[in-house]
Amino acid sequence: MSELDIIRAAGKLKRVKRQGWLDAGVKDAESVADHCYRTALIVAFCAEGADTGPRKGKRGGRLDVLKAVRMALIHDIAEAEVGDLTPRSGVPQAEKARREEEAVRRLGDRRVLELWREFDEGKSPEARVVREADVQERTIQATEYSREFPQLDMSSFLEKRKASTRRRST
C-alpha cells in the first residue's frame, strides 16, 4: 500500500463514531478522526520541549515531538477497518488486539505499524506522552459532553482519568 492508502484509511475515521460516547447516549458523537486530531494537538503543544527524564539507568533527553504527533495521529488507525471496539462490544481483549494489529499490518507501511505497536506497548517516552494525551482528550470530551448533555452520565469517563496505562477503552 502507498501513503495514499494510509491517508484514505485515516479518512475513513471521519465516519467512525466513538462507540463509548454512543453507548453513553450521545447521538452525534465525535468521530475517531476528531479524537485523533485533538490528541495530536495536545501532544504538539503540550509536549514540546519535554524532557524524557532518566529511566532505568538511561539518561534523559528531549522528546521526539514529531514522532509523538505522528503516533497520536495514527494511534486509532485500525478502527478504520475494525470499528471502535469497546468492552461493551463483547469482543475479548486478545481478539480485539489481534484484529487491530492485522488491520494496521494490512496498511502495508512499516513506519505506521512500528508507531502503532510502540503506542500499544506504551514503553517509549513518546508512547507514554501520547497515551496521557489520549486520556486527557477523552476527559476534555467527557467534560464538554457533560455540559452539553447534563442529562447524560459521563462520570465513568471522568473516573477513568488514571487509566492511561491500559489500551484505550472508549
Q: What is the pTM of this model?
A: 0.87
CATH topology of domain 3-162: Hypothetical protein af1432 (1.10.3210)
Distant-in-sequence, close-in-space partners of 123: CB < 8 Å, separation ≥ 6? none
Choose among 168, 136, 132, 138: nearest CA to 154. Answer: 138
pLDDT tens digits, residue range 27-40? 999 999 999 999 99
Please tell me the distance from the alpha carbon of residue 135 to that of residue 143, in angstroms, as a whole number.
Answer: 12
Please tell me the distance from the alpha carbon of residue 63 to that of residue 117, in angstroms, as a whole number.
Answer: 18
pLDDT tens digits, residue range 38-56? 999 999 998 776 655 655 5
Choose among 160, 111, 106: nearest CA to 131. Answer: 160
Domain coordinates in residue numbering, the chain: 3-162
